[in-house]
Amino acid sequence: MPSRPPKILEAIVSIFIPPACREEVLGDLHERYTRPVQYVFLAMRVVPFVIVSRIRRTADAQILMMEGLLIYASYLAAAWYTDTTLLMDQWGFFRLAVPPVLAVAFMIVEDAWSPLKERSALRLTGEVAMGTLFAFLLMVRRLPDTLNLVGASASLLLVSTVRIMFRPQVDRPQAAAGPAAWDEPAVAPRDAKSIYAFAAAIVLIVISLASSPKNAPLFVIVALVLWMGFTRARKE
Amino acid sequence: MAKPDSLGQFEQLLLTAILTLREDAYGVSIHAKAGALAKPKEVSLGAVYVTLDRLEDKGLVSSRLSDPTPERGGRAKRCYQLEALGERALQESAATAKRIWDVTTEIWGKEWAKEQWAKPPRKRWGKEIA
């Protein structure tokens, strides 16, 4: 009986393991190897947990929310300026929510699989481009072409900016690098900057409602993202 | 000084396994030790990885990659060690468990305590098996 798993099996399993934990997980699976079938079943039971754990470590809910809202705002704006009939449709607003979900899901997986500790601005933009391209391709024929193209292009521009400003974290802060979770106050004290940001967001919403009520959702989203961005910048 | 959160039962098991294994605490050995401690319940290797990551995020344990070894196909191990906060959290959990044991044994009697060891239920974590 061979004492090591077949290389082809290991190669297949390694594709599904995020690079940040590939070394130790493949080593552990190798150590537990008895026969190919057992290896496959063990990998099938272990790898999903490893993926979920890695995503939990790399995904930042606040940043993902900002990115999702910006992509939605981009598609919403694109619909207003290119094809308003979609917005009259009963499910129009929901159809426009599909590309953000797809793009954000793609970027979550990209972050989890990213092997690099520090990513350059070019690489971050490339990752966003892949995410928006993924959403764009899946929405071809499901959304009007011009709307899809304008929405994806605007998303690329806005989300790249957010990603470069708030770079995705490779790992959550460890005990040595920062305070433990229970050291952080449950509700962060608000300082003057975040109050100003919140006030600016409210003013923006009020102005948009007063000028043209139909554009209100777009301004609400932009204001929300601005506020989230300011409070996030204050934290960092 | 920071006060650690209360630990879940599985977290306690893993911290105990790391404490016992000392320098040799890595995925497979922690899984084996936790399985022995959890008997008759079965422990999944995937759950061990998830919980180790969570313990690391909480600052209760730290990890480092060891040198590659031939029995692992030339791959490194991720070795874990208890941090001061982890030790304190485990001490608190052990003290609480001891108090619970003392009180329940006093109320239900020593016969009940013996029965607990004599007829262990066959279970996975949270799920009965045939």
Q: What is the pLDDT of residues A169-182, one digit of tens each?
A: 666 544 444 444 44
Set of chain A residues whose Cβ sits within 8 Å of the Cβ of B56: 174
From the CA of B80, how many Å to the nearest CA of chain A?
Answer: 12
Q: What is the mean pLDDT of chain A?
A: 81
Residue A41 banded pLDDT, cuts 50, 70, 90: very high
Segments making up each domain of chain B, as ranges = 9-128
From the CA of A89, how many Å to the nearest CA of chain B?
Answer: 44
pLDDT at A102 over 60: yes
Q: Which one of B75, B81, B85, B92 would you mutate to disrupt binding with A, by most A Cβ within 10 Å of its Cβ? A: B75
Distance CA A8, CA A26 (A): 13
Give the pairing of strands B61-65 and B78-82: antiparallel
Segments making up each domain of chain A, as ranges = 7-56, 60-179, 187-236
Report domain B9-128's class. Answer: mainly alpha
Whether residue B53 and residue A56 make contact (CB cut-off 8 A), yes or no, is yes
pLDDT at A53 over 50: yes
pLDDT at A165 over 90: no
Query: Six-digit token pair at A167?
Result: 């770079």
Set of chain A residues whose Cβ sits within 8 Å of the Cβ of B68: 27
Question: Which candidate, B7, B72, A17, B46, places its Cα nearest to that of B82?
Answer: B7
With H, G, I as helix, E, B as strand and everything else as coil, classify residue B26.
strand
pLDDT of residue A49: 96
> Containing H/E element for A175?
none
- Please enumerate residues of A whose Cβ is less than 8 A from a Cβ of B: 4-5, 10, 21, 23-28, 30-32, 42, 45-50, 52-54, 56-57, 172, 174-176, 179-183
Q: What is the pLDDT of residues A189-218, one digit of tens each?
A: 445 555 666 566 666 666 665 566 666 677
pTM (predicted TM-score): 0.76
pLDDT at A38 over 80: yes
Q: What is the pLDDT of residues A135-150, one digit of tens each?
A: 999 998 888 999 999 9
Q: Give pLDDT < 50 ranges for chain B.
A: 126, 128-130
Distances (CA, A) of B71 to A5, A30, B30: 12, 8, 17
